[in-house]
Amino acid sequence: MSDTQAQTVAFVRETEIPPSPPPIREAGAVKWVRENLFSGWFNTIMTLVALYIILRIVIGVFPWFFNGVWDAGSIRECRDILEGATGACFAVLVDRWDHLLFGFNYPQDAYWRPTLAFVLLILAAVPALFYMYVPSKFLIGTALYPFLAYWLLWGGTLWLPIAVLAAIILTGVVFRLVESMTVSTRTIVAGIVGLVAGVGLAYLLYLGAKELWFISTSIGTGGAFAGLMSLVFKAFSIFTYVFFIPMGIFVGYAIYQSASDGGLVTLVTSLLAIALMMLYAVGPVSGVLNGIIPIELAAVESRQMGGFMLCMMLGAVCVSLSIPLGIVLALGRQSSMPLIKGVCIVFIEFVRGVPLITLLFVANVMLAYFFPPGSGLDLFLRVVIMITMFSAAYIAEVIRGGLAALPKGQYEAADSLGLNYAQATRLIILPQALKISIPGIVNVAVGLFKDTTLVSVISMFDIVGMIRGPIQQSTDWISIYWEPYLFAATCFFIVCYSISQYSQWLERQLQTDHH
């Protein structure tokens, strides 16, 4: 260091340090092994123990697996072929392949229908799952898929799902129409709809009050508990009798009052339209159309569905219904309107507090009491309602976590730009909250998918029900365990692992902080 510089400045850099590449990490298999497996006496012991366990499993499983018998008619034949050696009896999978996949009751000549529905499911899912790469017009196919799949699986006339689709489209038209009306026209509509909805609600409440009174008298007075329940039902009944007219008037008037801003009257008109069409138009119209141009497949009943197909059907339907319902519940729980908030909280807490099996028993037995015989809801639909409610409650809580994680500033920025509640929710809040919630939602979805096997307790023959029932109890395959359950586990693993991989990929796609 020269003296002159030292007097004026402590340090001045005169040359730039050129950038240099990062140091190359020492590599090599030996080094990796030493660092990761044998880095100390404890790790060395753990490694050796783990190796021993893995070795034992491999030694046990490999002969069993590779000695496997694929061609045999019964478990006895299998044992004869093996002659005492260890070996799996995969012949059961070959023998009962159709049953494992479709259940034992699905018509054999119709196996192509669920198979086609499955292939189409994958095609239809692509535009939704990879929406960032697929032009959005393909989503129309995704939207049409449920109607086609319904027809393929249950058969009957194609005109029924078409009529339902038409009813939904018409409802959309009604919605747009009412929304874009001038206030004076809408006032007239609101008057009529308010009157119809008010009277209709009052009438339904009146019927409910009558029913409650009937129940209260039929419970009887035997025992303290029955007496108490009877009193409770009587109280509800009287309450409903007193309030059915005021409630009708109140709701009708509220609808009439909403004419100027339009939200409520638009919603109620649309709901009324779709309910009326579903109840009175869809059936007859599809019947007539089928009379003119018959397009029919042999009808299959829900009781006949089974095997892994049933799990896939329940899984796909319930996941795709419970996510939107979960979103609505989560938003409702955050609502500033006490009634909506209260309903959502009660729903979520109640459903979460009850085991799914209980709900399924309710679906199987109880709901049948509420609907008159014959007119009752289809069993599949009842199970779907219960599983959907169950997982929607969990998904709602996951999404609520996502909503809570958003900084308040996001809501404020959206508000300050003049976005209304629906816009702010759809464009700003949900995309971010859902992104945070992906791992949680996937967790629930995977759990839901596996829980579809619980339907075997209400004697629906999903894959587990098939194994426990018709397969293990047949004389041919009596008490065969490992092979069919291993197959079921493999099926579930493939689907669940795919879901998990997809969600991780999606999370990476949605990352916006650094790329």
Partner 1 sequence: MAEAAQMQVSDEVAITIQNMNKWYGTFHVLRDIDLTVQRGERIVICGPSGSGKSTLIRCINALEEHQAGSIEVDGTLLSSDLKNIDKIRSEVGMCFQHFNLFPHLTILENCTLAPIWVRKTPKKEAEETAMHFLEKVKIPDQASKYPGQLSGGQQQRVAIARSLCMRPRIMLFDEPTSALDPEMIKEVLDTMIELAEEGMTMLCVTHEMGFARQVANRVIFMDAGQIVEQNEPEAFFNNPQSDRTKLFLSQILGH
Residues that bind partner 1 (CB under 8 A): 261, 407, 409-410, 412-420, 423, 427-428, 431-432, 435, 510, 512-514
E strand residue ranges, 253-408: 296-297, 306
Smallest separation (angstroms) from partner 1 to the CB of 197? 23
- Nearer to partner 1 by Cβ, of 184 and 416: the residue is 416
Nearest-angstrom CA–CA distance, 470 and 95: 13
Closest CA to 345 of 385, 397, 386: 397
Smallest separation (angstroms) from partner 1 to the CB of 439? 17
**C-beta separation of 303 from 204 below 8 A:** no
Smallest separation (angstroms) from partner 1 to the CB of 444? 22
- Nearer to partner 1 by Cβ, of 109 and 513: the residue is 513
Smallest separation (angstroms) from partner 1 to the CB of 323? 18
Smallest separation (angstroms) from partner 1 to the CB of 514? 7
Smallest separation (angstroms) from partner 1 to the CB of 258? 12
- Nearer to partner 1 by Cβ, of 180 and 423: the residue is 423
DSSP bridge partners of 296:
157
Residue 105 tokens read as 């009751």
- Nearer to partner 1 by Cβ, of 64 and 411: the residue is 411
Nearest-angstrom CA–CA distance, 140 and 58: 49
Smallest separation (angstroms) from partner 1 to the CB of 435? 7
Nearest-angstrom CA–CA distance, 131 and 121: 15
Maximum distance among all alpha carbons in the chain?
111
- Nearer to partner 1 by Cβ, of 29 and 337: the residue is 337
Amino acid making up residue 122: I
- Nearer to partner 1 by Cβ, of 25 and 515: the residue is 515
Residue 336 tokens read as 């500033």
Handedness of CA 256, 261, 262, 263 (dihedral sign): negative
3-state secondary structure 47-77: HHHHHHHHHHHHHHHHHHHHCCCCCCCCHHH
Closest CA to 428 of 403, 400, 451, 446: 403
- Nearer to partner 1 by Cβ, of 266 and 388: the residue is 266
